[in-house]
Structure 1
Amino acid sequence: MPSGTPYRVAIVGAGAIAGAHLSAVEAVGDRAQVVAVADLDAERATAFAAEHGIAQAFGDLATLLAEARPDLVSICTPPGAHREAVAAVLASGAWVWCEKPPALSLAEYDAMAAAEGENGPYVGYVFQHRFGSAASTLRRQVAEGTLGRPHVAVCHTLWYRDHDYYAVPWRGRWETEGGGPAMGHGIHQMDLMLSLLGDWHEIRALMGTLDRDVSTEDVSVAAVSFSSGALASVVNSVLSPRQESYLRFDFTDATVEVSHLYGYDNSHWTWTPREGVEADGWAPETDEASSHAAQLSAYLDAMDAGVRPPASGHDGRRSLELVTGLYQSAITGRPVLRTDLTEDNPFYTQLDGGGQYKPVRPGRPEELS
């Protein structure tokens, strides 16, 4: 902290994920302090503040910004509320750390990016899986060519969410969640893959609504090519009783894998060199788990330096681009290039292309609303 004074942090949205943001602030010690919380349910905000010893609680964001004057605001609301909240916080002069998925569309993402100042404040997004020591080590090895060229990747998010999970009104709806498991669940693993392999080039996808009573998909599969020439298999599901988050990267000289669920440490990763190759010095030097705290520490480093934080701008946009391309390919039945995602593309504005997806479950010919 250049001034030696803790950054004043506010949390907007007092639901379950707010606890992870509070814990992250507590983990960075005297670098930051949560000074206020807001929620449209003022009683919930008051209860959250009382439980965690937060000085101020508010029933609306505008009052929080005016009275608490935070340096950094964590946006923990459902996705449909991100754009308005981010714009208000940036206009107040505070920096923003916003939960995933970033926005309901690329159009919304770009509108939020346009509200940033040339030299800040900036809006960054929560993609904590790229910030553990193992992922950071692999990212450096990719950049330095330690393992050779990337050739093949596997990125599978196989989770399980039952029917009750989708009883929450905003879930499983294009207009409020933006999409299904590709948008709300697999985006974490896809972001980690993209942070390692860089920009994608082309995607060919399928998706279906096989069991859940939602208007989005509940499973998708895709084949992706990257600018480097690497090819990837991507699966996103909420129908998988044995849950796993699995990524595999096959390089010229090694295979690197991670199997976890909602977070990892070094023990979840393996480096397997090809025969005849020595793996000396490949192991991570430290063991930092992926977490909100790990990402927040990097975010505060950027605030200290007055520079754009990781997982913002183009770096934060990559995963939403891939999700958009996935939906367009699956819905239209055609391959999609990253360069196709222009402002005149209907999927740029709405991830279902403006009502183009009509889910039909097997055995139920009627369309779901």
Structure 2
Amino acid sequence: MTTKKHFRVALIGAGHIAKQNHLPALRALADRAEVVAICGREATRTHHFAQEQNIPAAFTSLESMLADAQPDILVNCTANNLHYPFTMEALKKGCHVFCEKPPAIWAKEAQEMADLATHQGVFLGYNFQRRQSAAYRLLQKQIVEGTFGEIYHIKADYLRRSGIPGWGNFTNKTIQGGGALIDLGVHLLDLALGLIGYEPPKAVLANTYDHIGKRGGKGLRGSWDGSHFEVEDACFAHINFPSRASVTLSSSFALHRKEAETVQLQIFGTKAGATLYPLEIFTESAGEHMNLQFPHLTEPDHQLENTRAFLDACEGLPSNICNGQQGALLQSILEKIYASAQEN
């Protein structure tokens, strides 16, 4: 039996994502990964975080952490505009990198990251945890088995009625790169692309809006200042692919609608269709309509499974995780969506 490698792991970004997502998953995989250091902007806060989380070393410089702690893996939990510089620095030092989504601010950056990882012979992966849901994995298997025939359209929705974040940098374009699309819609776009083979697009048509955001106010996720609202509160895009498949993607922080939140993927194929949440397949049998349900699916811890998948990929094992090249393609589509919206 082959023994799996034990990795030394360092994190950059001593905040909520590191504490609530990555550290619990890494600790659950302690036989494969050891957290050796944390890096943050503020010395006092970072040292307190390290003590609270029993992390051996704390740094305020990534360069110093990479040199002194000598990790095999860097987990990048920083703001969107810092994904590129910190990931590039770690890749240059020969570290595998597990980066939060989105890949970067610009497509060029994401491609540089992917190319450098390939050149260095290390793995770059992105933390799209929804890939690890039991329903999505089963849907992938059904596609491979030919249940759907040819998938020709996917409708992807991540919509909130009143969900503009009243904290953090979510409305700052320089730091975030965008709003509802880059924060919410990107998750569903990754899933949709995964079902049609991550094909580069042929054409993209999109619109973005900021009517509610610019107004300012109070919602279900706090209050925000409309005078400092720099991103879109809603985005609607249609993406065509050379295979003639298409994806419509809708995402919103705020939208005048009945439901508080909708997260849904609808798949349309030549032999069957499906919804993902919950997984239900619509097809025909003996000339009659038939709906297939899966009431006994048990959902795993998505973050834990995505971390496990990342470690597998670092060892060259089969893995269902968003890799560097897929991340670069995803970022290029995001950029095309924003560019199209600017023209319309």
TM-score (norm 2): 0.85
- How far residue 134 of structure 1 moved from its aligned partner, in angstroms, is 2.0
Whether the 8 Å CA contact 1:155–1:246 is kept in 2: the answer is: yes
Assess if the C-alpha contact under 8 Å between 2:110 and 2:324 holds in 1: no
Superposed, which structure 2 residues align to 1:341-356 within 5 Å? none
- Corresponding residue for residue 12 of structure 2: 12
The Cα of 1:251 is off from its aligned counterpart by: 1.7
Q: Note the aligned Cα RMSD (angstroms).
A: 2.7
Q: Indicate how the Cα distance of structure 1 residues 167 and 130 shifts in structure 2: closer, same or farther if over 3 A, else same.
A: closer
Structure 1 residue 249 corresponds to structure 2 residue 267: yes
Name the aligned partner's letter for residue 234 of structure 1. Answer: L
Task: Give the one of 288, 298, 312 matched to 1:301.
Answer: 312
Structure 1 runs, 4 residues or longer, greater than 4 Å off: 1-5, 160-163, 277-286, 306-309
Higher RCO, 1 vs 2 (CA within 8 Å, ≥6 residues apart): 2
Tell me if the contact between 1:130 and 1:290 (Cα under 8 Å) persists in the aligned partners: no
Which residue of 241, 244, 247 maps to 1:232? 247
Give the Cα–Cα distance (whole angstroms) in 2 for the partners of residues 138 and 104 of structure 1: 30
For 2:222, the equivalent position in structure 1 comes to none
CA deviations 1:226-277 (Å, max 9, x no partner) are 3332233211100046112111102223221123xxxxxxxx3222323537
Quickly say closer, same or farther: Cα 1:311–1:208, change in 2 above 3 A. Answer: same
Deviation at 1:146, TM superposition (A): 2.4
Deviation at 1:166, TM superposition (A): 4.8
- The secondary structure found in structure 2 opposite 1:30 is coil
Q: Deviations over 1:102-128 (max 9, x none)?
A: 101011112222322436212211111
Identify the residue that residue 25 of structure 1 maps to in structure 2: 26
1:346 counterpart residue number = none
Q: Please give the per-residue CA displacement for 1:334-354, whole angstroms capped at 9, x wherever unaligned.
A: xxxxxxxxxxxxxxxxxxxxx
1:46 alignment counterpart: 47
Shift of residue 41, structure 1, vs aligned partner: 1.4
Question: How far, CA to CA, are the matches of 1:150 and 1:65 in structure 2?
Answer: 45
Structure 1 counterpart SS, 2:262:
strand
Distance 2:298 2:328 in 1: 28
Residue 291 of structure 2 is aligned to residue 273 of structure 1: no
Contact 1:133/1:284 (<8 A) preserved: no
Counterpart in the other structure of 1:111: 112
Structure 2 unaligned regions, length at least 5:
214-225
Q: Residue 137 of structure 1 contacts residue 284 of structure 1 at CA under 8 Å; is this kept in 2? A: no
Q: Does 1:220 align with 2:221?
A: no
Q: What residue is the counterpart of 2:328 in the other structure?
A: 317
1:186-227: per-residue Cα shift (whole Å, max 9, x none)?
101110111112323322111111121322211011222233
**Counterpart for residue 171 of structure 2:** 172
Q: 1:285 to 1:22 in 2, by over 3 A?
A: same
Deviates more, 1:317-326 or 1:305-314: 305-314
> Using the alignment, how far apart are the partners of 2:320 and 2:314 within structure 1?
7
**Equivalent position SS for 1:22:** helix
**Structure 1: any 5+ residue segments left out of the alignment?**
260-267, 334-369
Q: Name whichever of 110-119 and 59-68 sits farther off.
A: 110-119
One-letter identity of the residue aligned with 1:10: A
Matches within 5 A, 1:164-203: 165-166=165-166, 168=168, 170-198=169-197, 199=199, 200-203=201-204
The alpha-carbon distance between structure 1 residues 114 and 101, as it changes in their structure 2 partners (threshold 3 A), is: same
Q: Which amino acid aligns with 1:67?
A: D
Counterpart Cα distance in 2 of 1:88 and 1:254 = 46
Residues 211 and 233 of structure 2 are in contact (CA less than 8 Å); yes or no, is this contact kept in structure 1? Answer: yes
Residue of structure 1 equivalent to 2:102: 101
Secondary structure of the structure 1 residue equivalent to 2:9:
strand
Partner of 1:145: 146
One-letter amino acid of the structure 1 residue matched with residue 279 of structure 2: W
Alpha-carbon deviation of 1:319? Answer: 2.2
Structure 1 pair 21–160 and aligned structure 2 pair: CA distance change class (3 A): farther
Residues 310 and 316 in structure 1, CA contact (< 8 A), matched pair in contact too: no
